[in-house]
Amino acid sequence: MRELRSRPGLFVILAFASMVIIVLSLTGVLAPLESIVSVPLNLVQGVVNEVVTGVTNTVTDFANIRDLQERNRDLERSLARLQAELVDLREVRHDYQRIAALLDYTSTAVNREYVTADVIGLDTSGFMRTIYINRGARDGVEVGMPVVTELGLIGRISQVRAAASEVLLINDPSSGVSARLQTSRADGSVRGQLSGTLRMELIERGAEVTPGDLVVTSGLGGAFPPGLVIGQVTSIRSFEFELFQEAEVRSLNDFDRLEFVLIITNFRPIDLSTFERPEGGAQP
């Protein structure tokens, strides 16, 4: 009870003291004391302001970082889409250029019919050099048909399935093509080497052979039509006591980067073995 009674008196005392302090402050009596007390209070206020400002800036920076991260993710997604579209457009342009070149080649060829095919496989393992294309028997493709690009001969059909075929490339060691030097008209045979290069053999010794000469199919033997470009002579090998000379030939095609090819469908190889005479007898 004494505590309850003393509270009104304490309140009156505090209120009176407050009034006195206010009056003294207004009259300037407490100015020196206020100056002394304000120094630590200002320091505390400055520290608190700096802390509050730092916290506010941190929260703001964090929000800005979140926004920047989200914008960065959006930009990365947009860039990925644009890069994919760019790749597609480049492929379309590349395919268009190659197909346009093939069409231009077919338009200049006389009395030849073609089927365009995509290269879907490449086998250069071991000694074999073949490619696989997406055209087969149902497209009219047959074994032995020549396969070319706008740059020249690349091989012939060696196996046929319903929807695909195998092409034996002319740089395969088992491949041989009857060839002719376009300038001197000297005949020979172009064979693939183990290294994947081409060599023209059996060129008569007196024939003029010059680097840069164009080599074309001769049509001899009936395996290929005449006039298909095989490549260009890069160097000549000739020895004094040999009956023939040889020439290294570079194809204009890159056999490791073939994408589209043409099959000459209206040419079929001729088997000249049916005209061979029996041994010791005359042709029946």
Query: What is the pLDDT, as a whole number, of residue 60?
Result: 73
Using alpha carbons only, how large is the chain's radius of gyration in Å? Answer: 46
- pTM of structure: 0.65
pLDDT of the chain along its 284 residues, tens only?
445 455 666 666 766 666 666 665 566 555 665 556 556 656 666 666 776 676 676 767 677 787 788 888 877 777 777 766 666 666 566 666 666 776 777 776 668 899 999 999 998 766 789 999 999 999 999 999 999 999 999 999 999 999 999 999 999 999 999 999 998 999 999 999 988 899 999 999 889 999 999 999 999 999 999 999 999 999 999 877 788 999 999 999 999 899 999 999 999 888 777 776 665 554 44
Stretch (H or E) spanning 191? strand 187-192
- Picking from 94, 133, 123, 172, the residue whose alpha carbon sits closest to that of residue 263 is 133
Query: What is the pLDDT, as a whole number, of residue 128?
Result: 83
What contacts 233, CB < 8 A, 6 or more positions away? 181, 200, 209, 210, 211, 212, 213, 215, 247, 248, 249
Distance CA 267, CA 272 (A): 15
Query: What is the pLDDT, as a whole number, of residue 7?
Result: 61
Write the DSSP assignment of 241-257 as a string of letters: T-SEEEEEEE-SS-GGG
Query: What is the pLDDT, as a whole number, of residue 283?
Result: 47
Query: What is the pLDDT, as a whole number, of residue 4?
Result: 45
Query: What is the pLDDT, as a whole number, of residue 130?
Result: 95
